[in-house]
Amino acid sequence: MTAGAESLTPAPLTPASMRRSRDVPALVERARDGDPRAVARLVTLVEDADPLLPEVARALARHAGQAHVLGLTGSPGVGKSTLTNELVRVYRASGLRVGVLAVDPSSPFTGGAILGDRVRMQDHATDAGVYIRSMSSRGHLGGLSAATPQAVRVLEGAGCDIVIIETVGVGQAEVEVASLADTTLVLLAPGMGDAIQAVKAGILEVADVFVVNKADRDGADATVRDIQGMLGLGERGPGQWRPQVVRAVAARGEGVDDVVAAIAKHRAWLSEHGQLQVRREHRAGVEVEQIALGTLRARIGSLRHGTALPALAARVAAGELDPYAAAADLLAGLAQP
Amino acid sequence: MTAGAESLTPAPLTPASMRRSRDVPALVERARDGDPRAVARLVTLVEDADPLLPEVARALARHAGQAHVLGLTGSPGVGKSTLTNELVRVYRASGLRVGVLAVDPSSPFTGGAILGDRVRMQDHATDAGVYIRSMSSRGHLGGLSAATPQAVRVLEGAGCDIVIIETVGVGQAEVEVASLADTTLVLLAPGMGDAIQAVKAGILEVADVFVVNKADRDGADATVRDIQGMLGLGERGPGQWRPQVVRAVAARGEGVDDVVAAIAKHRAWLSEHGQLQVRREHRAGVEVEQIALGTLRARIGSLRHGTALPALAARVAAGELDPYAAAADLLAGLAQP
């Protein structure tokens, strides 16, 4: 997550943005009332690292932890968007509000536009209880946008009961989405060699639910067997979750109820074992750390363009000062916000 | 350079290392007197991010800027090590002391050992005026060790007149080596498609001297023409250096004097135009910034394992505090060293 942290550091407040700051609590209220434009505006503020970002975060704080956050990952073509669509259908049928963050440039939800424009899934286009947002990856390695944690907060603040983060599986992405989610789903398809890849990428450690999609195809049994075999190799204590393996044919809606049941089972396990709290505190810690690091990078950047660093660098180049002493000097200057 | 900065942050001083600290000025004195074991010991302290590192830097500071630092880069197999060997021969023949830092796991100098053991080039094994050191890349993307700037300082402190940093060319590496060197040499060979690659990787902007090695092979003329053609496309003002293109057959020692002459010409140009100072101040600035960032990362890391971050994270997870306010709290705690 380090690479993208900088992009979450808001620019300094300007007179114009200070005027706009009066609107933030009102915007959050409108989002809670179900106004999709208010939700879209808040996510845009987050994506743009707007100077109002800390204020948005402040207004959203008390709504934290109200949604069950699902991470959904897997290789391209494995059926992530189809399954997401089906999950939205099932959850909406139970009257839950659902938010989707598609952090995947190849997602059909984005309609080819990867720069964060707001679009709706066709099936749910007229449903006010569903928010769908494609997030640009902002050049962030691993594909997961640095803005994603704050976007999750917006959707929680907007009253979503379920937030689905859909991200393309390229190894590191699974691990990252798992660090944001309460429940991580990894999608596989028969004959894609994904089971082996999953081991290599360390996905066995982060997946809470494996979904073998396209389970009507040849090789589905072998894929399920592979995963269960690999899961059997790892030792698990009595207090550890044993990842579920579920078959589905998302394109026909088959097995989706089983996926939802596995998610619910995991959620119940998390609560019973106090792990929901553990995961969320860990997640908040990573988030705070990333914001702090981004702020420090921005401060160092402004020193670079100011006079402190060039003056120190000239003394180091002249042999009057060693670089460690100069770095200590620089850090003393950073203490002031 | 960001990725590896952390590894340059020294561990806290321990009583044992405080005892050893008495030896640092003596060690630097011995290195200046030409004791190769003292030089090796200092580079090891640098590579290990030893707690004594700031003290080593302090003892070396006044010897800064005394060597002409050459960066030598190019694709594997292009003849970097052979040319380095020849450059050492020519400079030694003029009585200059030469240091070589091979930041290249594929370099024959390392004898296959990539973990920073000290070895000598065979041709110069008995020459006390030559130091050769392979540097591990410490997982640093781009191949250039984060410890390299400090290792250059050690070799300057040891009285080297010329320091050659040899690094494997993989795009980003050329740009990084250029940020450390007074003069950057890019090696190409006929028929390797390097000229095209050089354009893609932005090498045209950083190379001060192009060496077309293996110039006795078919295609050498075409390669020279390609480079000169590309150089001709870029506009250059009267105050800008026009990169030299030199032919060589390093394996037979041919053209090496021309390479040395091109380096000397560039060095003279740098001095005449005040650019040596500009480059070295820029280099010192990057170095100071990296050390400062590494220190901050280490401090945040220790907060993560302490109580400050977990306590803040728990409040964020509980919705009592927003992550930006928590990050500000965390940063206030960072101000103390």
Q: Give A146-184 pLDDT, tens digit per residue.
A: 678 889 999 999 999 999 998 876 555 556 677 789 999
Residue B62 has pLDDT above 60, yes or no: yes
pLDDT, tens digit, 9 for 90 and up, residues B142-192: 334 567 888 999 999 999 999 999 887 655 655 667 778 999 998 988 876
Lowest mean pLDDT among A167-171, B35-39, B309-313: A167-171
* A63, A282, A316: residue with CB nearest B284: A316
Confidence label for B112 from pLDDT (cuts 50, 70 and 90): very low
Q: What is the mean pLDDT of residues B78-98?
A: 92
Pair of tokens at residue A154: 């917006």
What's residue A115's pLDDT? 27
What's the pLDDT score for residue B142?
Answer: 31
> Closest residue of B to A320, CA-based?
B62
Q: Which of A257-266, A316-325, B142-151, B243-252 shows the lowest mean pLDDT across its residues? A: B142-151
Lowest mean pLDDT, pick from A83-92, A211-220, A275-284, B122-131: B122-131
What pLDDT does B121 receive? 46
Query: How far is the C-alpha of B224 from the C-alpha of B198, rounded, in Å?
Result: 13
Give the best residue of B309, B322, B330, B334 to mutate against chain A (max A CB count within 10 A).
Answer: B322
Taking the domain B63-273, which CATH number applies? 3.40.50.300
Q: Test B288 with A312 for CB contact under 8 angstroms.
A: yes
Q: Compute the nearest-CA separation of A44 from chain B (Å).
A: 17
Band of the pLDDT at B137, cuts 50, 70, 90?
very low
Question: Using CB atoms, which residue from A57, A281, A285 is nearest to B304?
Answer: A285
Q: What is the pLDDT of residues A217-227, one digit of tens each?
A: 998 998 898 88
pTM: 0.61
The per-residue pLDDT for B104 is 57
- Tell me the chain A residues in contact with residue B54 when contact means C-beta distances shorter than 8 Å: 322, 324-325
Those of residues 292-311 in A touching chain B at CB distance below 8 A are 292-293, 295-297, 300, 304, 309-310
**B4 vs chain A: nearest CA distance in angstroms?**
13
Per-residue pLDDT band for A43 (boundaries 50, 70, 90) equals confident
What whole-number distance in Å separates Cα of residue B145 and Cα of residue B118?
15
In angstroms, what separates the C-alpha of A255 from chain B's closest C-alpha? 33
Q: What is the pLDDT of residue B119?
A: 36
- What would the mean pLDDT of A207-216 be, rounded to a whole number? 93
Q: What percent of chain B shows pLDDT beyond 90?
A: 30
Please report the pLDDT score of residue A269 as a whole number. 96
User: Domain-by-domain residue ranges, chain B?
Assistant: 63-273, 285-334
* Residue of A4, A8, A117 lying closest to A56 (CA atoms): A8
Measure in Å the smallest separation between the Cα of A115 and chain B Cα atoms. Answer: 25
The confidence score (pLDDT) of residue A40 equals: 87
pLDDT of A142 strictly over 60: no
B281 in A contact zone (CB under 8 Å): yes
Q: What is the mean pLDDT of residues A232-250?
A: 84
